[in-house]
Chains A and B, each alone.
Chain A
Amino acid sequence: MKDFIIPDRDFGTPAAKSKAMVTLTIDGFDVTVPEGTSIMRAAAELGISVPKLCATDSLDAFGSCRLCLVEIEGRNGTPASCTTPVAPGIKVHTQNAKLKQLRRGVMELYISDHPLDCLTCAANGDCELQDMAGAVGLRDVRYEKGENHFEVRNTSGEKNPNWLPKDESNPYFAYDPAKCIVCSRCVRACEEIQGTFALTIEGRGFDSRVSFGAKTDTALTSDCVSCGACVQACPTGTLQEKSVIDIGTPDRSVITTCAYCGVGCSFKAEMRGDELVRMTPYKHGKANRGHSCVKGRFAYGYASHKDRILSPMIRDSINDPWKEVSWPEAMEFASNRMKGIIAKHGRQSVGVITSSRCTNEEAYLVQKLTRAVFQNNNTDTCARVCHSPTGYGLGQTFGTSAGTQDFDSVEQTDVVILIGANPTDGHPVFASRLKKRLRQGAKLIVIDPRRIDLVDTAHIKAAHHLPLTPGTNVAVVTAIAHVIVTEGLFDEAFIRDRCDWDEFQDYAEFVSDPRHSPEATQFLTGVKADELRAAARLYAKGGNGAIYYGLGVTEHSQGSTTVIGIANLAMLTGNIGRPGVGVNPLRGQNNVQGSCDMGSFPHELPGYRHVKNDQVREVFESLWGVKIDNEPGLRIPNMLDAAVEGTFKGLYCQGEDILQSDPDTKHVAAGLAAMDCVIVHDLFLNETANYAHVFFPGSSFLEKDGTFTNAERRINRVRKVMAPRQGYADWEVTQLFAQAMGADWHYTHPSQIMDEIAMLTPSFAGVSYERLEELGSVQWPCNEKAPEGTPLMHIDGFVRGKGKFIVTEYVATDEKTGPRFPLLLTTGRILSQYNVGAQTRRTENVVWHAEDVLEIHPHDAELRGVRDGQFVKLSSRSGETSLRAKITDRVSPGVVYTTFHHPTTQANVITTDFSDWATNCPEYKVTAVQVSPSNGPTEWQEEYAAQAEASRRILAAE
């Protein structure tokens, strides 16, 4: 859809990447552009807009609309300017009598088969067809009404066989074939940008129609993933957001950052008054480059869902109903309780959990609350349960707790290893960028117990899929290193130059041991030796090799070891420090990188500096004016253990639902129930709030200013587009609470918090809101050495000095299968739902995924008499739950798989409390289970539902 709000010019065709420049003359003006640029784009550079319909700069030139014709002196005919590249010295005319006549003729034909209902069309004022009719001076359509696609009935009342009804099956956009001009922009967007190929042009000639899927499909039943790329590309009202149909066109827009996954897409929030009309991907967003997924683009309805709590609430006991109170009352109640606990049980008896969903500034304030006001280090964050091993592993080997590349790097990759990640569901916009590169010929190696979509999907086929047994990552990664070392595929020059040679030799000796060979480990890992050898050779010698990984790596008892093993692989092959290579964790949440950077972990102050370091503490102490505890505080599991023991009594939990997302639900519930004051700060009465005494209603990302840091260390601005519906932005709520606790905080804008962060944290020293306005976004480290930020890390040397090889011994998890629990459960995500689903379950996204299902191999299903779609009981040593079975060979025999998006399933009742040896990151990805047919919810599920219902009662206002 064209951009009428901020005239964000469409140059018609993508930019050419050539370094050679070409000078030509267009309408008498000289212009110099890279070789390969289209004449249309060269003209646009001069400010001359050649009329066009089928061209847009997000798609390759197509040349079908014949509106962008130009004349070139000395050449025959009138070539299309979108498909004709520039040439040195040519003289182009974009406007003369002949061209005007031709364009009018073309336009007349278009309009002869288009309903002229502009005034009542949802795209009125936002329609390129309308604009072009104006641009070419169309004044008259000479064709008599004949066969057409837009009239339901002709004047005699006969049905028009060419007319097709609107397809409104997708919850977010409508397809009205009557308005279609068959420019193919939607089809090309689905292919080139999204890479799903769900759309086609069916038929030919006058019968050509855009079709979702095959003949009998609708938008919903086709392969469409509702990313919105087609809607974005449509020049007319044919593919239109339903929100625009309902509300009308927006009148202003604000650039902000999506609050779902760690890709951190930039969006334009398009507004009318204070109503959000639509979210559209921002073309200049450096993470997403103008693309989006169904969550970011459409699933924002939760912010105005009726379940959202808008008033603070308190209660004496978790058995009481909630009582709505004013903000001052809530603050007084909460602070009195917390003060009482501290007085009675000491300052170590309370703590906080920061949120990876909130802004950097908010996470910073929450950890500051515990460090400076409670005066302990009891802060932790949800990164504990996802990417804490990434922080540890990459910190140890490279010296920074973050990915090494930017997302643009994927455009120069030749071989991608994807381990324990499912980007088409978890990080869809990155997946589209990856798929684009794969279609250009890059090779893919997938290491995953499950056959994820990228293993075999349209136009994508992984070169190797290593379907390992859950829990054997370390053995597989070490076996790959074994092949690289023993076959002499390592990059000796790189290792000698950049790493510690002695450590390498120790490591080489370790991995060369025959017990690490793929032939020896295949019985353990289930990965065929020859396949693994081929994959190792491809990665080592296939050009630029990049590793992308996700929670399938970290959420294991040996999560940190696998991260170290991955870093070893990159160092071994010299795949670090240039575009197209690197080690890239795909972060789960929008701001998990940021919340870790902000000092959310109990042992680290902002910028990953240990609390035992006196000098670091002094810097903070002098600015904050308090003494900081020099002992690391409690991690989330420790807090819960301490609570059960009776030594931990009060918790302020911002934007995280630990009861649903943390492992071993029963233990979490027992811990929370044992506390005297649980403060939940969230948009909704989440599952954790069932055990809370105070509820602070939260503000959505649309209602506050701040910054998010995505997986590529990019600090993106979040901008307030509307006032907080419950009165305060989350950082203001934390400040009010700190003030009630006696703190002397007076921030009036998040920019002041960022200034404080910059002052205290060397890697953020150059970051300020002014800088972000200037650059759009910036990747840390951003300081005197790198004033514009750092897209690629470790270019000339590792941050820690020499890269460190660390031996990665495989130790099997204690969670083992046996006669009672013979299957291994692993967990994951689905595209349309996000994490525990608190937001996406409150949007129309439920049409794609209404409940969690258990994927089970046909062989295992048959053994147990389980039928497709039947309720099954899933039990482990920790607990049991029930859900429906889906029989599929995507999982190997012996492995079952489910998602954890729905609270009724409570998949984490099943997961155990085993965790990573270094960081306590829970082992979500491996649980020994048994599956048996069942006829409904388990006793636990019923009890839980009853407790949740009782706990969510709110007293009627008096």
Chain B
Amino acid sequence: MSQTSTEIAARVGEILDAHEGMEGSLLPILHAIQAAYGYVPRDALPIIAKRLNLTRAEVHGVMSFYHDFREDPAGRHVLKLCRAEACQAMGGDRVAQHAQNRLGIEWHETTKDGRITLEPVFCLGLCACAPAALVDGKVVGRVDEARLDAIIEGVR
């Protein structure tokens, strides 16, 4: 679904109105836009910058600092696999390789049918149950090949 820039201007404008007068509102605004679109459309940046009396460079700097703000729409489901030390020690590499093979995509890619986006993440705070994953915002522990297949099947 492609958004025309006038639609974006109107919707982003509404979100900006809702945050009017809030101190330090850039992050809440980015969150609200991502919640509305699933990502932060490129055309939104100059509109945010203008309203907050910033430049688009500054907004880009903030947005790009946080990996969770997306520049492009993700698949219908997002699967994040932990790549940090504890999970690697518990076979995370193997699970990751399995996920890539099974889905036929690399990191940060989405399956051709637009179903799943695969992303690395660094520590979900679930080291005791490593390897860990995050499926559409829900943490899952002790992910091995079988559980990963189940997850993939489950979001079909």
Chain A contact residues, CB within 8 Å of chain B: 196-204, 211-217, 222-223, 456-461
Q: A202-B64, A214-B45, A215-B42 are in contact. Are A456 and B53 (CB under 8 A)?
A: yes
Contact B57 A198 (CB under 8 A): yes
Q: Are A196 and B55 in contact (CB under 8 A)?
A: yes
Per CB-CB distance, the 7 closest pairs between chain A and chain B, nearest first, are A200-B61, A214-B60, A202-B64, A200-B57, A197-B55, A458-B55, A214-B56
Residue B136, interface by CB 8 Å: no
Q: Known contacts being A203-B65, A214-B42, A214-B45, is A223 close to B55, with CB within 8 Å?
A: yes
16 new A-B contacts at CB < 8 Å, known A202-B60, A456-B53: A197-B57, A198-B57, A199-B57, A200-B57, A200-B61, A201-B61, A211-B60, A211-B61, A214-B45, A214-B60, A215-B60, A216-B42, A217-B56, A457-B53, A458-B54, A459-B53
B59 interface residue, CB < 8 Å from A? yes
Q: Using C-beta atoms within 8 Å of the partner chain, give the interface range for chain B.
A: 10 to 19
Contact string against A for B residues 23-63, beta-carbon threshold 8 Å, 1 for contact and 0 otherwise: 00000000000000000001001100100011111111100
Pick the most buried of A200, A215, A223, A459: most chain B CB atoms within 10 A of its CB.
A200
Q: Which single residue of chain A is at the shortest CB-CB distance from B59? A: A214
In the complex, chain B residues whose CB is within 8 Å of the CB of A213: 55-57, 60
What are 22 A-B contacts with C-beta separation under 8 Å?
A196-B55, A197-B54, A200-B60, A200-B61, A201-B61, A203-B65, A204-B64, A211-B61, A211-B64, A213-B56, A214-B57, A214-B60, A215-B60, A215-B64, A217-B57, A222-B57, A223-B56, A456-B53, A458-B49, A458-B55, A459-B53, A461-B53
Name B49-84 residues within 8 Å CB distance of A: 49, 53-61, 64-65, 71
Contact of A203 with B64 in the complex, beta carbons under 8 Å = yes
Instruction: Report chain A residues within 8 Å CB of B53.
Output: 456-461
A196–B54 alpha-carbon span in the complex (Å): 10
Measured in the bound complex, the distance between the Cα atoms of B46 and A280 in whole Å is 32
Complex Cα spacing A203 to B60, Å: 9
Interface centre among A196, A223, A458, A459 (most CB of B within 10 A): A458
Cα–Cα distance between A457 and B64 once the two chains are bound (Å): 23
Q: Chain A residues with Cβ under 8 A from B49's Cβ?
A: 458
Decide if B57 touches A211 in the complex (CB within 8 Å).
Answer: yes
Q: Which residues of A are found within 8 Å of B58, using beta-carbon distances? A: 197, 200, 458
Residues of chain A with a CB closer than 8 A to B54's CB = 197, 458-459
Q: Which residues of B contact A211 (CB under 8 A)?
A: 57, 60-61, 64
How near does chain B come to A467, taking the closest CB pair, in angstroms? 19
In the assembled complex, which residues on chain A have CB atoms less than 8 Å from the CB atom of B65?
202-204
Residue with the greatest number of chain A CB neighbours at <10 A, chosen from B45, B59, B64, B65: B64
Closest-by-CB residue of B relative to A459 is: B53
Closest to B71 in A: A215
Provide the residues of chain B in CB contact with A223, threshold 8 Å: 55-57
Measured between alpha carbons, how far is A216 from B57 in the docked complex, in Å?
A: 11
**Minimal beta-carbon separation of B34 from chain A (angstroms):** 16
**CB closest chain-A residue, reference B67:** A204
In whole angstroms, how far apart are the Cα atoms of A924 and B2 in the complex? Answer: 48
**In the assembled complex, which residues on chain B have CB atoms less than 8 Å from the CB atom of A204?**
64-65
Look across to chain B and name the residue whose beta carbon is closest to the beta carbon of A461. Answer: B53
- The answer on a CB contact under 8 Å between A198 and B55 is yes
Give every chain A residue within 8 A of B59 (Cβ-Cβ).
214
Residues of A with C-beta under 8 A to B64: 202-204, 211, 215
CB distance from A404 to the nearest CB of B (A): 32
Chain B residues in 8 Å Cβ range of A200: 57-58, 60-61
Q: What is the CA–CA distance of A575 and B46 in the complex, to the nearest angstrom?
A: 39
Q: How far is the CA of A458 from the CA of B56 in the complex (A)?
A: 9
Question: Which B-chain residue is minimally distant from A212 (CB atoms)?
Answer: B57
**Nearest CB of chain A from residue B134's CB, rounded to whole Å:** 20
**What is the CA–CA distance of A211 and B55 in the complex, to the nearest angstrom?**
12
Complex: A527 Cα to B55 Cα, angstroms:
29
Contact B61–A202 (Cβ < 8 Å): yes
Residues of B within 8 A of A215 (CB): 42, 60, 64, 71
What residues on A are CB-neighbors of B60 within 8 Å?
A: 200, 202, 211, 213-215
CB interface residues, B 99-153, toward A, < 8 Å? none
- Shortest distance from the beta carbon of A456 to any chain B beta carbon, whole Å: 7
Q: How far is the CA of A204 from the CA of B71 in the complex (A)?
A: 16
Q: Which residues of B contact A456 (CB under 8 A)?
A: 53
Question: Closest A-chain residue to B64, C-beta based?
Answer: A202
Q: A459–B54 Cα gap in the complex (Å)?
A: 6
Specify which of B46, B57, B58, B71 lies most central, judged by the most chain A CB atoms within 10 Å of its CB: B57
| A460 surroundings in chain B (CB, below 8 A) | 53
CA distance A216 to B71 in the complex (A): 12
Question: What CA separation (Å) do A214 and B42 show in the bound complex?
Answer: 9
Compute how far the CA of A213 lies from the CA of B49 in the bound complex, rounded to whole angstroms: 11
Closest to B65 in A: A204
User: Which of the listed residues A199, A202, A212, A216 has the most CB atoms from chain B within 10 Å of its own CB?
Assistant: A202
Residues of B within 8 Å of A214, CB to CB, are 42, 45-46, 56-57, 59-60
Cα distance, A202 to B62, chains bound together (Å): 7
Tell me the nearest residue of chain B to A190, going by C-beta: B57
| Distance from B15 Cβ to chain A, minimum over Cβ atoms (Å) | 18
CA distance A212 to B54 in the complex (A): 14
B72 to chain A, nearest CB (A): 11
Q: Complex: how many Å from CA A202 to CA B45?
A: 14
Q: How far is the CB of A457 from chain B (nearest CB, A)?
A: 8
| Cβ contacts under 8 Å, A198 to chain B | 55, 57
Min CB distance B3 to A, Å, is 17
Chain A: minimal CB distance from B76 (Å)? 25
* Assembled-state Cα–Cα distance A93/B136 (Å): 54
- Bound-state Cα–Cα, A214 to B57, Å: 5
A199 CA / B64 CA spacing, docked (Å): 13
Task: Compute how far the CA of A213 lies from the CA of B58 in the bound complex, rounded to whole angstroms.
Answer: 8
Residue in chain B with minimal CB distance to A213: B57
Among A196, A214, A222, A460, the most chain B Cβ lie within 10 Å of the Cβ of: A214
Q: Report Cα–Cα, A459/B56, bound state, in Å.
A: 12
Measured between alpha carbons, how far is A131 from B45 in the docked complex, in Å?
Answer: 40
Complex CA–CA separation, A203 to B65 (angstroms): 5
CA distance A217 to B56 in the complex (A): 10
Q: How far is the CB of A68 from chain B (nearest CB, A)?
A: 25
Which residue from chain A places its CB closest to the CB of B66 in the assembled complex? A204
- Chain B minimum-CB-distance residue to A204: B65
| Cβ–Cβ < 8 Å partners of B61 in chain A | 200-202, 211
**Could you say which residues of chain B place their CB within 8 Å of the CB of A459?**
53-54
Residues of A contacting B57 in the complex (Cβ-Cβ under 8 angstroms): 197-200, 211-214, 217, 222-223
CB of B68 to closest CB in A, whole Å: 12
A622 to chain B, nearest CB (A): 62
User: Which single residue of chain B is at the shortest CB-CB distance from A223?
Assistant: B55
Contacts of B71 in A (CB 8 A): 215
Chain B residue with minimal CB distance to A198?
B57
Q: Name the residue among A196, A215, A222 with the largest chain B CB count within 10 angstroms.
A: A215
Q: How far is the CA of A204 from the CA of B58 in the complex (A)?
A: 14
CB of B44 to closest CB in A, whole Å: 11
Which residue of chain A is the closest to B60 with respect to CB atoms? A214
Closest to B46 in A: A214
- Nearest residue (CB) in A for B61 is A200
The distance from the CB of A186 to the nearest CB of chain B, in whole angstroms, is 12
- For A203, list chain B residues within 8 Å (CB): 64-65
In the bound complex, CA of A211 to CA of B45 (Å):
15
| CB-based nearest A residue for B49 | A458
- Across the interface, which residues of A come within 8 angstroms of B42, CB to CB? 214-216
**Which residue of B has the minimal Cβ distance to A457?**
B53
Q: Chain B: which residue is nearest A456 at the CB level?
A: B53
CB neighbours of B46 from chain A (8 A): 214
Closest partner residue, chain B, to A202 (CB atom): B64
The distance in angstroms between the C-alpha atoms of A460 and B53, with both chains bound, is 7
- B contact residues around A212 at 8 Å (CB): 57
Query: B135: shortest Cβ distance to chain A, in Å?
Result: 25
Q: Which residues of B contact A199 (CB under 8 A)?
A: 57
B50's nearest neighbour on chain A, judged by CB, is: A456
Which residues of chain A are near B45, meaning CB under 8 Å?
214
Residue of B nearest to A458 (CB): B55
| Distance of A211 Cα from B62 Cα, bound (Å) | 12
Give the complex CA separation of A200 and B58 in angstroms: 6
Query: Hey, what's the 0/1 contact readout for B2-15 against A, CB within 8 Å counting as 1?
Result: 00000000000000
